[in-house]
Amino acid sequence: MKLTYTKNSIKPAAIILMCMFAVATAIGQVSDGLYIKEYAWRMHSLYYPKTPGCDSVYADRYSEMWYYDSDSLFRKIAAEGRTREVEDLLQHYYFQIMDYMPVEKRRAEHGKMNEAARRYGSSLLKNEADFMEIIIEMYPLDTAGNSFEAKIDKMNELVERAVRRGDRNSECMLLFEIFQIYKTHKNYAKAFSIAPTVLQKAELLTVEECPMLRIIYSFIGNAYYFFEDYDRAFFCMRKVESLNGILFADRHSFEVKEKFALYYASLNQLDSSDYYFRSMYDSNEKVRFRAMYDVVAASGIAANMVKRHEYDRAIPLLERWYPEAVREYYPSAVDITVNLAECFICKNQFSKALPLIDSARALMAEIPVNLMLCEKLYKLQSNYYKAIGNAQMAILYNDSARIAAMQHTAKTDAIIILRAEQELFEAEKAFKDEKITLQQSRIFFISVIFMLSLSAFVVLIFLYRKKQAAYRKLIVKSRQWAGIIVTEDRKSALDSELECTQIDLPDASDLSLMKEIELLISGKELYKNPALTLDILAKELQVKRNYVSRAINRCRNINFNAYINEYRIKEAIQILSGSNHGKKSIEDIALQVGFNDRSVFSRAFKKITGLPPGSFISNR
């Protein structure tokens, strides 16, 4: 999870809602056990008390002053090595304190570490100083020119030195940092060429040897998870679960639980999702951003309640945690606001839903673009306008949600291609291990890829043309069936439309009633009524419903629903075959011809015509 905060003030709508929810929390009963915990400090950083001689930085993201004593840290490294306490202090120093130091101050700290290494005669401290020099120059990183690769080469030199002295911990940690640098700067091919090696080295270590072990597995697992490579992601995440965390900075058991919870929620396995969210909340681990993970857990459980339509349970839980979410983690605040608004929309309390939508939009403006949250917010607004009867706005926001979803999918699809490059790197390594030259491997792969690409291209062209021809035949048949193209054969078929091929032949009363049904449905266009039922039709004809059902079954050899759907699909085909259909979406056409759900329309359309509406449009 990428943590994002801002110094900017919250919009007025969010402030009003936060006050309302704070009052609700103060007077409400916590029946679900998810109360807001109080911690000794906010745990945005390792607790380091102010002492004589210590230095400080101001973390403006959290409006907090953080303290550190680098002289004491360097002395501990030289005297004790990388113990658990030293590792915690190093993580605090490298990735929290130095984040808020100007570059000049970082370089001065590097000079102090080098001097301490010389003074104490510590090779371990000298290795840390070499690593620190690269970290200082890498963040922020300029990837232009040769400086980037030169610094990566320097990291690889440190890896080789660690191998020569038999330091497996440093070797694994340095390789992991190289992976992180490549991934951070979107050089995924190189990042994933290193990942298997990092995992292989990590397998040889214990948490006692490498306190960062869970962090390594978690970061690589999260990368695979983002690319939807769930097999590799869950392998890494299971590793995190099997190890005991010993560092304050190691919050990755929470990251893993969250990923499992979200994964099961996406499969609609809500009980399993709740289990992982609840285990996050109930955990006794005191790690960095602990309060934030309480927010994530509570909002996730509430979101699952909303999916179960348990609105009366979800509303007090969401209201209780909203102020804490605003304080700790804006994306969860957006999620809470969206879910709360959805509850009120489903309860037809639209006056309560609208300010929540405004609040969610205000909070979204405070965080970097999150396509998944954008999609959720657009869907919420579409549902709101649909509920209050504003179809035009509902369609607009539904289109926006679809675009956000497509953009998110495109992003992951682009990264999937890079996974092939990862496999190429692994294959090249295998060939090198077998003493096959790099040039031979390139020729082999280029030849295979060329032949496969050529073969695939020919096959795809053939299949595409075959598919297009089949589609065109289906479209012609569908248009003939809908009465748009009338051939002699079709005319003959229309003249005898009421004739039956069933063994159970209709009698004269069935045929007479069927003619009345045809005239009534086509004349009054009753099929355009989404609520049309057999009882309504029988009442219009002033006959018993079983007579109507029998006439349709005997004369048309189909049931009532299939019979009505045929009229609707005929109407849809006529609309789609017209020149002005492009002004209407598929959802609009579905509603116009009598369907109240786009997916039901699509299934009926494909069942009758043999192809979905989108393919009909593109091939007509």
User: Percentage of residues in the chain with pLDDT exceeding 70?
Assistant: 80
Contact 322/337 with Cβ under 8 angstroms? Answer: yes
**Average pLDDT in the 283-290 region?**
86
| Statement: the pTM of the whole predicted model exceeds 0.85 | no
What does the pLDDT read at residue 489?
Answer: 47
Q: Which amino acid is at 142?
A: D
Tokens coding 223:
């990368």
**Average pLDDT in the 233-262 region?**
85
Rounded CA-CA distance 245/214 in Å is: 7
Closest by CA to 285, choosing from 325, 253, 327, 240, is: 253
Instruction: Name the one residue in this structure whose structure tokens are 């190189």.
Output: 190
Closest by CA to 274, choosing from 258, 286, 290, 288, is: 258
Rounded CA-CA distance 266/307 in Å is: 11
What does the pLDDT read at residue 147?
Answer: 66
Number of H helices, E strands in the chain: 27, 2
What does the pLDDT read at residue 403?
Answer: 92
What does the pLDDT read at residue 149?
Answer: 77
Whether residue 92 is predicted with pLDDT greater than 90 in this model: the reply is: no
What does the pLDDT read at residue 144?
Answer: 47
What does the pLDDT read at residue 478?
Answer: 62
pLDDT tens for each residue of 265-285: 999 999 999 999 999 999 888
What does the pLDDT read at residue 619?
Answer: 72
pLDDT band of 504, cuts 50, 70, 90: low
**Of 274 and 502, the one with more pLDDT:** 274
pLDDT tens for each residue of 374-411: 999 999 999 999 999 999 999 999 999 999 888 877 76
pLDDT band of 466, cuts 50, 70, 90: low
Greatest CA separation for the chain:
112
Half-sphere exposure in the Cβ direction for 502 (13 Å, CA): 16
Helix or strand or coil: residue 2? Answer: coil
- The H or E element spanning position 318 is helix 311-328
pLDDT tens for each residue of 420-457: 455 656 656 666 666 666 676 677 767 777 787 777 77
- The DSSP line for 165-217 is TT-HHHHHHHHHHHHHHHHHTT-HHHHHHHHHHHHHHHHT--TTT-TTHHHHH
What does the pLDDT read at residue 400?
Answer: 93
Whether residue 490 is predicted with pLDDT greater than 50 in this model: the reply is: no
Rounded CA-CA distance 74/111 in Å is: 12
Contact 594/572 with Cβ under 8 angstroms? Answer: no
What are the phi and psi torsion angles at 87 (to 5°)?
Answer: -65, -40
What does the pLDDT read at residue 334?
Answer: 92
**Average pLDDT in the 76-104 region?**
86
Contact 593/599 with Cβ under 8 angstroms? Answer: no
Contact 224/259 with Cβ under 8 angstroms? Answer: no
140 cis-preceded (ω within 30 degrees of 0): yes
Helix or strand or coil: residue 68? Answer: strand
Whether residue 414 is predicted with pLDDT greater than 60 in this model: the reply is: no
What does the pLDDT read at residue 337?
Answer: 94
Whether residue 143 is predicted with pLDDT greater than 70 in this model: the reply is: no
Q: What is the DSSP letter of 9?
A: P
What does the pLDDT read at residue 482?
Answer: 58
What does the pLDDT read at residue 383?
Answer: 93
pLDDT band of 25, cuts 50, 70, 90: very low
pLDDT tens for each residue of 361-375: 998 888 888 888 899
Whether residue 495 is predicted with pLDDT greater than 80 in this model: the reply is: no
Instruction: Name the one residue in this structure whose structure tokens are 């962090």.
Output: 215
72 contacts: CB under 8 Å, gap ≥ 6: none
- The DSSP line for 233-298 is HHHHHHHHHHS----TT--HHHHHHHHHHHHHHHTT-HHHHHHHHHHHHH-----TTHHHHHHHHH
Tokens coding 570:
């005929």
Whether residue 161 is predicted with pLDDT greater than 60 in this model: the reply is: yes
Helix residue ranges, H only, 434-527: 438-481, 488-495, 508-524
Lowest mean pLDDT among 348-357, 497-506, 525-534, 538-547: 497-506
Tokens coding 158:
């440190």
Rounded CA-CA distance 269/261 in Å is: 9
pLDDT band of 145, cuts 50, 70, 90: very low
**Of 472 and 606, the one with more pLDDT:** 606
Contact 592/575 with Cβ under 8 angstroms? Answer: yes
Helix or strand or coil: residue 101? Answer: coil
Q: What is the DSSP letter of 93?
A: I
94, with CB counted inside 10 A (0-12, 13-18, 19+), is middle
Q: Assign 3-state DSSP to the chain and report helix, strand, coil percentages, each to 5.
A: 75, 0, 25
Lowest mean pLDDT among 50-54, 260-264, 457-461: 457-461
Lowest mean pLDDT among 68-72, 200-204, 492-496: 492-496
pLDDT tens for each residue of 110-127: 999 999 999 999 988 988
Rounded CA-CA distance 606/611 in Å is: 5
Contact 142/148 with Cβ under 8 angstroms? Answer: yes
Please give the mean pLDDT across all residues of the chain.
81
Instruction: Name the one residue in this structure whose structure tokens are 């709101």.
Output: 384
